[in-house]
Structure 1
Amino acid sequence: MNDLLRRALADAGITERDVAARVGVDLKSVQRWAAGRTPYARNRRAVADLLGVDEAALWPQVAERAVAAGPPVPEVMATYAHRWDVPRSAWRLLFERARRQIDVLAFAGLFLAEDAGLLRTLAGKAREGVGVRILLGSPEGARVAERGDDEGVGESLAAKIRNALVGYRPLGEVPGVEIRLHDTVLYASIYRADDDLLINHHVYGVAAASAPVIHVRRVEGGDMASTYLDSFERVWSAAAPVE
């Protein structure tokens, strides 16, 4: 139980529902914070700003850990000028090391769907009990059409997605694999295995394969990975399962 947070809310006349609305999270998250769970750093700062207090006044244990821990652990592990600069071994190791969750968010992700070795890895991980979620753009969606125009490739992006769906089709028969379609503006593609993410940023007029990639790792007290993971969950919740 976080009595410090509860008391600060009462003193400010702010309800848990108010916090959820202002910080941009669901009510259950705020209730878990009040029950004692420590939020991500970004959310801690937002709540502290909302209440007009120092973060350490609400979560003193975080400040104590920061002092004891010394220099911060880096969140960015590697950078690549282009997606095609990422070695195939990096993709293989990313997914092979997963023990809990593999997530893919892209428009097409055709390079994965065409790699039989990586598909076998994803299927094998699912059979081991690792959750596998794949999010692709809807070929008929407005956002895919816009992105195709932005890249100057027109309807070929929708065609790539349809080809990718054919490649991913065998995975759809593996228990633990879920495939959905989204119609969302993507500012980055996300390839996640547990706490490691390869983020392929989208650049106007540039194909994803030629855009930069960063390798981000989720660390205690870090914000960067959680920002991308939160984004994935929002897209996933609004996406439609592939029939």
Structure 2
Amino acid sequence: MSMYQKGFVIPVRWAITIVALLLLGVLLAMSIIMTDKSFLDNDGPVWVFASGVASGLVVTLAQFFLSWADAKAIDRFRAMGVENVLSNRDEEAYYGKFIQSARTQVDVMGSTATRLMQDFADVESPKPEKKALIEALRKGVEVRILVATPERLEARERIYKYPVARKLFESIAAQYPNFEVRYFDATPIAAFVRADHQLVVGPLLPGVESKHTPALHVYNHSPYAASYLNYFEKTWTSATPVSQMPPLEATA
């Protein structure tokens, strides 16, 4: 499967212009068809078209040109592959639907991925949305999780979050061969979740809970997404599989 998928994007302002011109063409054609007058006669097609459309057209064009700058801004975001901007990452429902949309691939990168595992890999929960990651694994989706070694974590994360996530990782890896976790030896600076050809990514700030930081939902063909995905692949090749990590007792 190709990591990057490009799509044909029509700028919003040109899409509006094309639709407007098509509608005008349809109205003109109807004016011609629905009268037996000559084209330029009084009450003819041109007169009917102008009198019926002119006033509304003036107002519509005025509104359109006033919104031209906004349309250009939207086009710039679309050109960068931006689907949405999240003011924070404390969006369990959003991420749940995002993971559920995956058909072939889920990649995760972060510091410990504890919150993601507790939110979407809770096998004991009676709520289906709390098992989104488990359901993806059952459907054959390949899941890769890349997180930092405990030595690269802040004290609180190393003491409390790392052991919790590690136990969840090992339990699920024992049940699903399409679930793989590796640890990279570097300070984590960003976190993302990839579902097929889309990515939700945001920064990791020292001393700040990741759920309180913003994130971008982008498509993989975006240059913004490509840098993170390339970094993931490069780091993944040299990272240590969870099965080769020291026992939890050695890092306690």
Tell me the TM-score normalized by structure 2.
0.59
Structure 2 residue aligned with 1:187: 189
Shift in Å, 1:118: 5.9
2:202 partner amino acid: N
Q: Distance in 1 between matches of 2:158 and 2:129?
A: 22
Structure 1 residues 172, 81: CA separation in 2 closer, same or farther (over 3 Å shift)?
same
Q: Does 1:79 align with 2:80?
A: no
Which structure's CA Rg is the greater one?
2
Q: Distance in 2 between matches of 1:195 and 1:235?
A: 20
1:208 partner amino acid: S
Q: Does 1:124 align with 2:135?
A: yes
2:168 partner amino acid: G
1:78 partner amino acid: N
1:13-28 map, 5 Å: none
SS, match of residue 120 in structure 1: helix
Does the Cα contact within 8 Å between 1:180 and 1:236 map onto a contact in 2?
yes
Q: Percent identity?
A: 28
Q: Does 1:178 align with 2:180?
A: yes
After superposition, what is the alpha-carbon deviation per residue over 1:50-104, rounded to whole angstroms, capped at 9, x for unaligned? xxxxxxxxxxxx9xx98xx5426451122222222x2x22111111110111011
2:84 partner amino acid: A
Q: RMSD in angstroms over aligned alpha carbons?
A: 2.7
After superposition, what is the alpha-carbon deviation per residue over 1:202-236, rounded to whole angstroms, capped at 9, x for unaligned? 234423222211111224xx322212111111221
Structure 1 residue aligned with 2:170: 169
1:178 partner amino acid: E
Structure 2 residue aligned with 1:133: 144
Structure 2: gaps (5+ residues): 12-74, 123-127, 244-252
Shift in Å, 1:105: 0.6
Structure 2 residue aligned with 1:97: 101
Q: How many residues align?
A: 166
1:1-243 map, 5 Å: 70-71=10-11, 73-74=78-79, 75-84=81-90, 86=91, 88-115=92-119, 116=122, 120-139=131-150, 141=151, 143-144=152-153, 148=154, 155-159=155-159, 160-173=161-174, 174-219=176-221, 222-243=222-243
Tell me the TM-score normalized by structure 1.
0.61
Structure 1 residues 97, 195: CA separation in 2 closer, same or farther (over 3 Å shift)?
same
Does the Cα contact within 8 Å between 2:193 and 2:199 map onto a contact in 1?
yes
Q: Distance in 1 between matches of 2:133 and 2:148?
A: 20
Structure 1 residues 70, 82: CA separation in 2 closer, same or farther (over 3 Å shift)?
closer
Structure 1 residues 212, 76: CA separation in 2 closer, same or farther (over 3 Å shift)?
same
Q: Distance in 1 between matches of 2:130 and 2:144?
A: 13
